[in-house]
Amino acid sequence: MTQYKLLTPGPLTVTDRVRQAMNFDYCTWDEDYKAVTQEIRQKLLQIAQVDPDRYTSVLLQGSGSYAVEACLSTFSRPDTKFLILSNGKYGERILQMADYQKLDYEAYKVAYDEVHDPQVVACLLDKNPDISHVMMVHSETTSGILNPIADIAQVAKDHNCLFFVDAMSSFGGVPIDMGPIDALITSANKCIQGVPGFAIVLVRKDLIESSKGNSSTLSLDLFDQYQEMARDGKWRYTSPTHVVMAFHEALKEFEERGGVAAQHARYQKNQELLQEGMEDLGFKAYVPREHQGPIITTFLYPEGQAWDFQDMYHYIKERGYVIYPGKLTDVDTFRIGNIGEIYPEDITRVLDIFKAYMEEKDNDRH
């Protein structure tokens, strides 16, 4: 099989060190293993810069979506009404989950290349005083847009609402002020650079501790998971042992490299280099510059040219990288992520591959 690096936003390319941490079969009952879980939970709170007396972290088996759904269920009661903001597929997934769970909500949707207006949020909350929870996505990985969560969170707080954020693809890679955030969701295989297998919820302790009996599903009951895990680090049900050890190693590396600030600086540099280089080659980014985040960039297909994503994908893959198809329904796009073990040298190499591909296509046409 062709070997390649992932220019996709998780799973992502990890270090050999992280991969090697999986090279042993750990016992879920063993005290060393349980201590690893506790260390991970504590380190996540340090990264978030929150007071461990006020916040806790809960790990949940499964991909990120499992934790989003678990939050909706565990932190809502029959009289809860949500305001759900959406400008991409992941916001839409929250809405879909709310429908599945038959939750009461208002939706505020804007186009995928636009951000939400805090004044509109304020109006919606004024008009619907029964709304108690506001939820949105931070880095909308559908497009790469970075939503201004601080502005919206402020409005939510001014209206005495809880504020939940899906920070799946941003936590650890973009600085986040946890001050107004009641619950944040992320996963093992994003900016901390672990492998897929569990999701993470950082939540106010008093909120989770008062959530007993809310969840409509047993395996997604975060309260129950928290109760068990907080005791001694033992996971409820089968623990993804290899993934946990990989994440533990990824956290050590993350700290050694300089934490969120260093991760953010590198991703930002990758993104800027990529966008500039692609624009030089004639590609246009989909998201306006002022809202573009450092995680992933969506590019439009070049205008007036026959363009075959599969052909380009295979050309790039054979040369050592894989990219992502677009996720927009109205325009043809593709996406390039720059998180994981990806450095400016990789971006330069990918740009060279794109350039060679464009030249070959140009020669074919003439």
Ligand X SMILES: Cc1ncc(COP(=O)(O)O)c(C=O)c1O
Contacts with ligand X, residue ranges (CB under 6 A): 9-10, 63-65, 90, 137, 141, 166, 168-169, 187
Which CB, 89 or 205, lies closer to ligand X? 89
Taking Cα atoms as reference points, which of 114, 251, 96 lies closest to residue 172? 251
Q: Are 206 and 49 in contact (CB under 8 A)?
A: no
Which CB, 295 or 353, lies closer to ligand X? 295
Which CB, 8 or 132, lies closer to ligand X? 8
Burial label for 102, CB within 10 Å (0-12, 13-18, 19+), is exposed
Which CB, 167 or 245, lies closer to ligand X? 167
**Amino acid type, 105:** Y
| 3-state SS, residue 166 | strand
Which CB, 189 or 241, lies closer to ligand X? 189
**Amino acid type, 44:** L
Which CB, 64 or 173, lies closer to ligand X? 64
- Over the range 131-143, which residues count as b (16 or more CB within 10 Å of their CB) and which as e? bbbbbbbbbbbbb
Which CB, 125 or 199, lies closer to ligand X? 199
* DSSP helix, strand, coil percent of the chain (3-state; round to 5): 45, 20, 40
Q: How far apart are CA 107 and CA 229, in angstroms?
A: 34
CB of 201 to ligand X, least distance (A): 13
Residue with token string 């969840």: 215
CB of 323 to ligand X, least distance (A): 15
CB of 158 to ligand X, least distance (A): 25
CB of 90 to ligand X, least distance (A): 4
97 phi and psi angles, rounded to 5 deg: -65, -40
CB of 68 to ligand X, least distance (A): 6
Q: How far apart are CA 288 and CA 53, in angstroms?
A: 40
CB of 206 to ligand X, least distance (A): 26
CB of 115 to ligand X, least distance (A): 15
